[in-house]
Amino acid sequence: MATATREHWSSRRGFVLAAIGSAVGLGNMWRFSYLAAENGGAAFVVFYLGVTLCVGIPVLLAELVLGRGSQQSPIRALAHYGGAAWRPLGVVFVAAGFLILSYYSVIAGWTLRYGLVALAQGFPADVADRFGDVATGWDAFGFHVLFMGITIGIVAVGVKGGIERTALVLMPTLFVIVVGLAIYASTLPGAGEGYSYYLAADVSKLLHWSVVKDAAGQAFFSLSLGMGAMLTFASYLQRDEHLPNATLTIAFADVAVAFVAGLVVFPLIFALGLEERVGASTVGALFITMPQAFAEMGAVGRVVGTLFFAALVVGALTSAISLLEVVVSSAIDGLGWTRAQATLAAGAAITLLGVPSAWNTDVLGVIDQIANNLFLLGGGLALSIFVGWVMQDPIAEAASGTEGIRWFPLWRWLLRTAVPLFLALVLFYAVPETTAAIAGLFSSAP
Ligand code: PHE
Alpha carbon of 221 to ligand 1 centroid (Å): 5
Mean pLDDT over 36-65 rounds to 91
Q: How far is the CA of 373 from the centre of ligand 1 (A)?
A: 14
Quick one: pLDDT band at residue 403, thresholds 50, 70, 90?
A: confident
Residue with the smallest CA separation from ligand 1 atom 7 is 224
Percent of the residues in the chain that have a pLDDT greater than 90, as a whole number: 73
pLDDT digits (tens, 9 = 90+) for 304-314: 999 999 999 99
How far is the centre of ligand 1, averaged over its atoms, from the C-alpha of 79 (Å)? 24
pLDDT digits (tens, 9 = 90+) for 96-113: 999 999 999 999 999 999
Atom of ligand 1 nearest to the CA of 97: 11
Model pLDDT, residue 446 = 52
pLDDT of residue 445: 56
Measure 25 CA to ligand 1 centroid, in angstroms.
6
**Is the pTM above the cut of 0.75?**
yes
> With contact defined as beta carbons under 8 Å apart, do 362 and 408 qualify?
no
Q: Most confidently modeled of 1-10, 33-42, 202-211, 288-297?
A: 288-297
**Ligand 1: distance of its center to the CA of 377 in Å?**
13
Q: Is 95 left (phi over 0), alpha (psi -120 to 50) or beta?
A: alpha
- Counting from 1 in the atom list of ligand 1, the atom nearest the Cα of 319 is 8
Spacing, Cα 318 to ligand 1 middle (Å)? 9
What is the CA(197)–ligand 1 centre distance, in A? 26
Q: Closest residue (by CA) to atom 11 of ligand 1?
A: 224
Lowest-pLDDT range of 12-26, 31-45, 86-100, 426-440: 31-45
Q: Mean pLDDT throughout 3-26?
A: 92
Pocket probe mutation, ligand 1, options 319, 321, 372, max atoms within 8 Å of Cβ:
319
Cα separation, 231 vs 393, whole angstroms: 18
How confident is the model over 79-89, as a mean pLDDT?
A: 97
Q: Is the dihedral of CA 175, 181, 185, 187 positive or negative?
A: positive
For the chain, the three-class secondary structure string (H helix, E strand, C coil) is CHHHHCCCCCCHHHHHHHHHHHHCCHHHHHHHHHHHHHCCEHHHHHHHHHHHHHHHHHHHHHHHHHHHHHCCCHHHHHHHHHCHHHHHHHHHHHHHHHHHHHHHHHHHHHHHHHHHHHHHCCCCCCHHHHHHHHHCHHHHHHHHHHHHHHHHHHHHHCHHHHHHHHHHHHHHHHHHHHHHHHHHHHCCCCHHHHHHHHHCECHHHHCCHHHHHHHHHHHHHHCCCCCCHHHHHHCCCCCCCCHHHHHHHHHHHHHHHHHHHHHHHHHHHHHCCCHHHHHCCCCCHHHHHHHHHHHHCHHHHHHHHHHHHHHHHHHHHHHHHHHHHHHHHHHHHHHCCCHHHHHHHHHHHHHHHCHHHHHCHHHHHHHHHHHHHHHHHHHHHHHHHHHHHHCCCHHHHHHCCCCCCCCHHHHHHHHHCHHHHHHHHHHHHHHHHHHHHHHHHHHHCC
Query: What is the reported pLDDT for 284?
Result: 66
pLDDT over 70 (residue 65): yes
In this prediction, residues 224-236 reach a mean pLDDT of 98
Question: What's the mean pLDDT in 206-218?
Answer: 85
**Residue 311 CA to ligand 1 centre (angstroms):** 15
Ligand 1 mutation pick, 59, 60, 98, 104, max ligand atoms within 8 A of CB: 104
Query: Which pLDDT does position 197 carry in this prediction?
Result: 83
Contact criterion met (CB below 8 Å) for 7 and 72:
no
Q: What's the mean pLDDT in 282-308?
A: 86
pLDDT band at 256, cuts 50/70/90?
A: very high
Residue 2 has pLDDT above 70, yes or no: no
CA of 98 to the centre of ligand 1 (A): 13
Ligand 1 site: residues with CB under 6 angstroms? 22-23, 25-28, 100, 221-222, 224, 227, 229, 319, 322-323
pLDDT at 41: 79
Q: Of 13, 4, 14, 24, whose CA–CA distance to 317 is shortest?
A: 24
Look at 149-158, 240-249, 294-303, 329-338 and tell me which has the smallest mean pLDDT.
Answer: 294-303
Residue nearest to atom 6 of ligand 1 (CA): 224
The CB density around residue 255, as the number of other CB atoms within 10 Å, is 23
How far is residue 444's CA from residue 440's CA, in Å, rounded to a whole number? 6
Confidence of residue 72 (pLDDT cuts 50, 70, 90): very high
- Residue 25: pLDDT band (50, 70, 90) is very high
How confident is the model over 275-292, as a mean pLDDT? Answer: 71
Which residue CA neighbors atom 9 of ligand 1 most closely?
224
pLDDT at 279: 54
Ligand 1: distance of its center to the CA of 404 in Å? 30
Residue 346 predicted with pLDDT over 90: yes
- In ligand 1, which atom is closest to the CA atom of 28? 4
Mean pLDDT of all residues in the chain? 92
Look at 135 and 387; give whichever has higher pLDDT: 387
Which pLDDT value is given to residue 1? Answer: 41
Taking the CA of residue 322 as reference, the ligand 1 atom at the shortest distance is: 10
pLDDT tens digit sequence for 348-370: 999 999 999 999 989 999 999 99
Give me the pLDDT at residue 4, please. Answer: 53
- pLDDT > 70? residue 181: yes
Cα 331 to Cα 327: distance, rounded to the nearest angstrom: 6
Exposure on the CB side of residue 286, measured as CA atoms within 13 A: 28
Q: What is the predicted pLDDT for the residue at 3?
A: 46
Average pLDDT over residues 195-205: 78
Q: What does the alpha-carbon distance between residue 137 and residue 357 come to, in Å, rounded to a whole number?
A: 9
- pLDDT the model gives residue 394: 95
Ligand 1, residue 315: give the atom nearest the CA: 12
